[in-house]
A and B are shown apart, each in its own frame.
Chain A
Amino acid sequence: MYTAEMRELIKKVESTRPQRIGVNFERMTPAEKEDVLRENHPDYKKENFRVLRVGKNKGQKVPLELANLIEANSRINNTQIDLSKINYDVDVLVIGGGGAGTSAALEAHNKGAKVLIATKLRFGDANTMMAEGGIQAADKPNDSPAQHYIDVMGGGHYTNIPELVNALVKDAPGVIKWLNDLGVMFDKEKDGTMITTHGGGTSRKRMHAAADYTGAEIMRVLRDEALNRGIEVIEFSPAIELLMDNEGKASGAILLNLETGEYVIVRAKTVIISTGGAGRLHYQGFPTSNHYGATADGIILGYRAGAELAFADTIQYHPTGVAYPSQIFGALVTEKVRSMGATPLNIHGEQFVYHLETRDVEASAIIRECLVKNNGIETPTGVKAVWLDTPLIDILHGEGTLEKRVPAMFRMYLKFGIDMRKEPILVYPTLHYQNGGLLIDENGQTKIKNLYVAGEASGGVHGRNRLMGNSLLDILVFGRRAGLHAGEESKSIDVKDLNIKHVSDYNKELLENGVVTERVSPMLLPHYTHGR
């Protein structure tokens, strides 16, 4: 429900609407983009980053909150754990039960491997479930993997690793077909043509969707398939440390049963980290659109074992997080809302940025409008916000379109007394995605033998900025690739004795570099008190 002041301001939005319909706001030039990023993007706020003192990326900067977890003690310091008592002995251990992990498990299983999925919360509790807008793939006749490649590289400011982008765009149509054949219900015309839209920074309409439940639909189908295949899953049991063999190869993990407090020892021939992102670290005090479990755990484990980070200092702030009402503060308003024509407006009801710039540019323009130009709308949470003119969607595409194409958004707002078909909504950037992570190659391999990473925990494919619809794609492309490779490799691996020497080595390195701290990581779960 809007306040009386807000309702007054909505009248301005309504008064400028007739003149805005059908008028395309101009896109920024490359120089203008550069300027707005430098001035406003949180990645450029130097005081919120710190140089690492230990590990492979020593000397490089990462967000403060991540640095605090990297430079922290293991949860198993001063704990006696008997590594000879093996609870699970498998070919492939997948850590994390989201989209990347589940697709990896399915492909490793296809290879005949004995697979175990260990996950911190429930199977399927992941950012995948919350991906709303869509998944990119260059399948239409007017599109090509090469066209997709150019969009990805431009969106990532040409910093992306070319081999990874090549894999991403080349596998994309195959991923859509794989999902379709598993029974994912994509939005289609009667003749089978996929209903596709633009995302910020795309040159072709290649965003495939399942209403605004795209990730949820993909996740529930993949989960159902994994259950049908009989793949074993241990829920509420996050990995708290990797295990290595005497040759320094990854060989399993120590899990913590969150409900009983017991340790679980898993021996595995190959290990795939698919633990997702870090939104719950709330970098720079931002709210987040991320899952409760997005606390960078896999990055901590992998880094401690000697894997390298790439682009760990670049974070994606989604331009449109919920700014009001406070109950859903920070939740995602899918980019699809803008893909379908809703435009951002300031307090005067004026558009100030093209509605489909890449996410980093769009978010920076919104921050500038609120904090620099002072044209934001005050909200009770203390955050300034801009309007997103959602009634435009039905005006442009016909009554009933919004409810049909973004039913989750419509339902969410309605539960809190706002009808986004008739009233604009208030948005501000929200912490959405970690662009970087543990560095991988085309098969998801790190430089630690037998250690793979897939999905948001990995780094390199998106460079410094990811395009909409390339994350659902990334998790499936590299999840499948990692699963296939790890499943195949596991056939010729013979695991020897397990050890955790890398943890004591890491402790030593912390001390030698003057890091004395009480902090413990991985974080596992955030702590909230809501002002109490």
Chain B
Amino acid sequence: MSPQKMVDIYILGKRYSVPDSLTIMDSMEYAGYKLIRGCGCRSGFCGACATIYRIKGQKELHFHLACQKQVEEGMYITQIPFFPGDKKLYDINKLEPNADSMAQLYPEIYSCIGCNSCTKGCSQDLNVMQYIAYAQRGDLEKCAHESFDCVMCGICASRCPANITHYQVGILARRLTGKYIAAETEYLIDRVIEIGDGKHDHSLEELMGKTLSQLQELYNSRDIEK
């Protein structure tokens, strides 16, 4: 293996020399941190490791998940392990899938000034301002799909001058879409009723009584859907 190339990074303003092959998260551990906050699935799904950095000598801020971004020379790094965004409480069974529900729970979406800071900050490269626009006009299904890959890391809300908690708007739109807007699955409802009526009990009891060789025979000769 070729020798490690080292880069200087600044964690909370303090300089550390770390191998350039590491992610931001790994580099913090290399530097000696034992992470409690700001570390979760380490695979880009949980949003625990929202991170802001700036490269020394430059002005621009960058936003990433620490587990999904490789270190670079001169990174000034801080994490946002928690953001006090506002989540409204509601009973999903009593809401209607329309603009009114959205407006009642999250009226601040109408204060959006169109600065697009949310989109620029998104660690998943989602078009956040666009999904807020969909929410404003009550197009919940489009809001749901546009926000679907959100990991709720909180960077968008931290950047918003209108105090919008975008990721909470997104999940409300998605739950309303999943529950009310997407078409019902008729055969699923039927199957649940069948099972409730005990119609599958007999076939399962029979299988539970099978010997090893009988089960092997059934398994090895089962037909497999193409």
Chains A and B bind each other: yes
Where the two chains meet, the residues of A that have a C-beta atom closer than 8 Å to any C-beta of B are 30, 121-122, 124-125, 129-130, 132, 138-142, 144-147, 149-151, 153-154, 158, 162-163, 166, 169-170, 173-174, 176-177, 180-186, 188-194, 198, 203-205, 210-211, 213, 215-217, 220-221, 224-225, 227-228, 230, 236, 258-259, 289, 291-292, 326-328, 331-332, 380, 382, 407-408, 411-412, 415-416, 525, 527-532
Given A227-B87, A258-B36: A163 in contact with B208 (beta carbons within 8 A): yes
Chain A nearest CB: distance from B103 CB in Å?
A: 19
- Chain A residue numbers with a CB within 8 Å of B29 are 528-530
Contact A174 B183 (CB under 8 A): no
- Chain B residue numbers with a CB within 8 Å of A154 are 215-216, 219-220, 222
Chain A nearest CB: distance from B120 CB in Å?
A: 17
- Chain B residue numbers with a CB within 8 Å of A190 are 183
Contact B179 A327 (CB under 8 A): no
Alpha-carbon distance A523/B54, docked complex (angstroms): 35
Contact A327 B42 (CB under 8 A): no
Contact B187 A527 (CB under 8 A): no
Contact A408 B45 (CB under 8 A): yes
What are 21 A-to-B residue pairs whose CB atoms are below 8 Å? A129-B46, A130-B45, A139-B185, A146-B203, A150-B207, A162-B208, A173-B191, A183-B174, A183-B175, A184-B178, A188-B182, A189-B183, A190-B183, A192-B183, A203-B222, A213-B45, A220-B152, A221-B175, A224-B87, A331-B43, A531-B30
Q: Per a CB cutoff under 8 Å, which of A188, A221, A412, A532 touches B183? A: A188
Q: Of B42, B124, B185, B206, which is in contact with the most chain A CB atoms at under 10 Å from its CB? A: B185
Interface residue tally on B, bucketed by range = 35 or more
Alpha-carbon distance A183/B218, docked complex (angstroms): 37
Bitwise, B196-213 to A at CB < 8 A (1) or not (0) is 100010011011100010
Contact B36 A525 (CB under 8 A): yes
Apart from A154-B219, A185-B144, what are 11 other A-B pairs with CB-CB below 8 Å?
A132-B45, A139-B191, A149-B207, A158-B215, A170-B200, A173-B192, A177-B189, A177-B192, A220-B152, A228-B89, A291-B41
Q: Per a CB cutoff under 8 Å, which of B22, B195, B223 touches A173? A: B195
Alpha-carbon distance A237/B45, docked complex (angstroms): 22
Alpha-carbon distance A327/B26, docked complex (angstroms): 9
- Chain B residue numbers with a CB within 8 Å of A328 are 43, 68
Asked whether any CB of chain A lies closer than 8 Å to the CB of B23, the reply is yes
Ranked nearest first, the 10 interchain pairs of A and B with the lowest CB-CB distance are: A183-B175, A192-B183, A154-B219, A183-B179, A183-B178, A185-B178, A146-B203, A162-B208, A173-B191, A530-B30
Alpha-carbon distance A205/B223, docked complex (angstroms): 12
Contact A188 B185 (CB under 8 A): yes
Given A158-B212, A331-B43: A193 in contact with B185 (beta carbons within 8 A): yes
Contact A146 B207 (CB under 8 A): yes
Alpha-carbon distance A132/B44, docked complex (angstroms): 12
Contact A211 B40 (CB under 8 A): no
- Chain A residue numbers with a CB within 8 Å of B187 are 139-141, 193
Chain A nearest CB: distance from B71 CB in Å?
A: 10
Alpha-carbon distance A220/B87, docked complex (angstroms): 13
Closest to A210 in B: B148
Chain A nearest CB: distance from B11 CB in Å?
A: 14
Alpha-carbon distance A227/B92, docked complex (angstroms): 12
